[in-house]
Chains A and B, each alone.
Chain A
Amino acid sequence: MLLPKLSLRAFAIWQRNFLVWRKLAVPSLLGNLADPMIYLFGLGYGLGNLLPAQSALGGTTYLMFLASGTVCASTMNAASFEALYSAFSRMHVQKTWESIMNAPIALDDIVAGEMLWAASKATLSGCAILLIVALLGMIASPLALWALPVIFLTGLCFAALGLIVTALAPSYDFFMYYFTLVVTPMMMLCGVFFPTEQLPALVQTIAAELPLSHSIALARPLLLGKLPTDIFHHVFALIAIAALAFTIAINLARRRLLS
């Protein structure tokens, strides 16, 4: 396995995707918001009001508990969709990557540009939800601003993981496996909808090392106005997963496109 060789040209790829996105920015952003909002308010009010004493949630309301989970989960979803479906279109269907490689840009730059772009788009989604949550008065203190880098890091992590799948995918159908086997389980195991303490001990131990768990472990206290515990552990884990996944994705992409 070779380490990525990167240059600033990666930014041109980011810019290309940004220019396309700009044409449809508003519908795209609304589309990204609708789904998490339905979950947040549907479950938050509907289910939240059924819950009796909320001691298991650490003294907060279910809606506020769910808000931080939703921010992280929708960041994960946005990054995954972009790195899977959209990047695959550009790589495999439209042959955009191929045309770019005839210019003085290396494949590594393209993969890096795609990762940064997917992370940026996911950050935008995550921040949009954060903004709505803030406007509804569900944020405790300015400490919540520290959730921004957490959101970006989450985006990077899932963008890199998604690009691995994209580099392996024979067709769009393949992505269903990733969503049903990786993304959806994380939604259930990493404390988006309920505290992970509800899970069996063994599952808890495994789930704690999943990227979405690290992300929520950082974002949830911040949104509730508290300092997260084990900050460095979680940040380091997210960075390490992103870096490793990115290196794997680049090597798989090289095998697919440069042999």
Chain B
Amino acid sequence: MSPLTVADLRKSYGKNIVVAGIDFSLKPGECFGLLGPNGAGKTTTLRCCLGLTQADSGTIRLAGEPIPQRAREARMKIGVVPQFDNLDPDFSAAENLLIYGKYFGLEKSAIKRKIPLLLEFAGLAGKENAPIRSLSGGMKRRLTLARALVNDPELLILDEPTTGLDPQARHLIWDRLKRLLSQGKTILLTTHFMDEAERLCHRLAIMDSGRLIAEGSPRDLIREQIEPQVVEIYGEDAPAWAKREAIDHSKRIEVSGETAFCYTNDATELLRLAANNSNLRTLHRLANLEDVFIKLTGRELRD
């Protein structure tokens, strides 16, 4: 049974269409990523899935339960890590886990047995009595992850789990998420970090303006959506040079500031030409998920 199935989900606020009819379905044990720029509708989609926002139309089944009719029952079986930390500042780290377990109707003694394991998992052993405000951003996020595991959920829903964290803290979160996947848990996460998606997700869907515009494994998306090689050309006249000289040897060129991105199946000729011009610096690399994302969602800023 799919841990989460969404069919033809729609949600508007007045004239603003936030989710414009999306379909996706999770397979047990996979990590599914919802990628999109800010304002793409990712968080609204998650809120609808949790039964916290009433969709205009569409059907959602979460953990076998119809949403929103049986959202409470569905939430019994899942864990949520929200985008912004909302740990309870009136309690210590261990008390946060205890009180959160009580919200699931769990027995105090059963939660207390679990707390050391959860803190250990979150790398917070010995921090039982630490007040929340004394924890770093990474520690808070890990405690939030531990909190989401208090009911031993089948499915974890994470909204931008590493936004605002430093690289060390992000790696630690990724490591823990991989561990959870190896334990057989299913993960749904939203992110706008391509490295995160490439590293963790078995499958992902790219969302923009309320629609899913591409879906597949990171590798398939790169293969299907984009030329395999990229030559990035830097320099003051790089954009002009690329449009003049590189155009015949590239399938596609994108310009951002003083950088030209030349997408091609074979970069040999392009690199040779660029080497002749001493004002240009080049970087030759394989196309990645970020290239796919930029191609599909455009280069302009989203706010």
Other A-B pairs beyond A20-B91, A104-B76, 13, CB < 8 Å: A7-B72, A94-B88, A94-B90, A98-B82, A99-B100, A101-B50, A102-B50, A103-B103, A103-B151, A104-B105, A258-B52, A259-B13, A259-B54
Cβ of B102 within 8 Å of any chain A Cβ, yes or no, is yes
Could you tell me if B102 and A16 are in contact, using CB atoms closer than 8 angstroms? yes
Could you tell me if A16 and B99 are in contact, using CB atoms closer than 8 angstroms? yes
Could you tell me if A104 and B86 are in contact, using CB atoms closer than 8 angstroms? no
A residues apposed to B, CB below 8 Å: 7, 9, 12, 15-16, 19-20, 23, 94-96, 98-106, 258-259
Could you tell me if B91 and A104 are in contact, using CB atoms closer than 8 angstroms? no
Chain A CB within 10 A, most for which of B72, B87, B100, B103 = B103
Could you tell me if B104 and A103 are in contact, using CB atoms closer than 8 angstroms? yes
Could you tell me if A259 and B82 are in contact, using CB atoms closer than 8 angstroms? no
Q: A9-B105, A16-B99 are in contact. Are A94 and B72 (CB under 8 A)?
A: no
Could you tell me if B75 and A103 are in contact, using CB atoms closer than 8 angstroms? yes
Complex Cα spacing A93 to B53, Å: 20
Could you tell me if A102 and B80 are in contact, using CB atoms closer than 8 angstroms? yes
Complex Cα spacing A169 to B303, Å: 27
Complex Cα spacing A96 to B85, Å: 10
Tell me the minimal C-beta distance from A62 to chain B in angstroms: 41
Complex Cα spacing A7 to B88, Å: 22
Could you tell me if B75 and A104 are in contact, using CB atoms closer than 8 angstroms? yes
User: Across the interface, which residues of B come within 8 angstroms of A96, CB to CB?
Assistant: 86, 88
Q: A20-B90, A94-B89, A98-B86 are in contact. Are A105 and B80 (CB under 8 A)?
A: no
Cβ of B73 within 8 Å of any chain A Cβ, yes or no, is yes
Tell me the minimal C-beta distance from B296 to chain A in angstroms: 30
Chain B CB within 10 A, most for which of A101, A102, A103 = A103
Partner of A105, one of B53, B54, B89, B103: B103
User: Across the interface, which residues of B come within 8 angstroms of A100, CB to CB?
Assistant: 103
User: Which chain A residue lies CB-closest to B84?
Assistant: A95
User: Across the interface, which residues of B come within 8 angstroms of A103, CB to CB?
Assistant: 75, 100, 103-104, 151
User: Across the interface, which residues of B come within 8 angstroms of A259, CB to CB?
Assistant: 13, 53-54
| Chain A proximity mask over B45-88: 1 for CB below 8 Å, otherwise 0 | 00000101110000000000000000111011000101010111
Could you tell me if B86 and A95 are in contact, using CB atoms closer than 8 angstroms? yes
Complex Cα spacing A155 to B72, Å: 29
User: Across the interface, which residues of A come within 8 angstroms of B151, CB to CB?
Assistant: 103
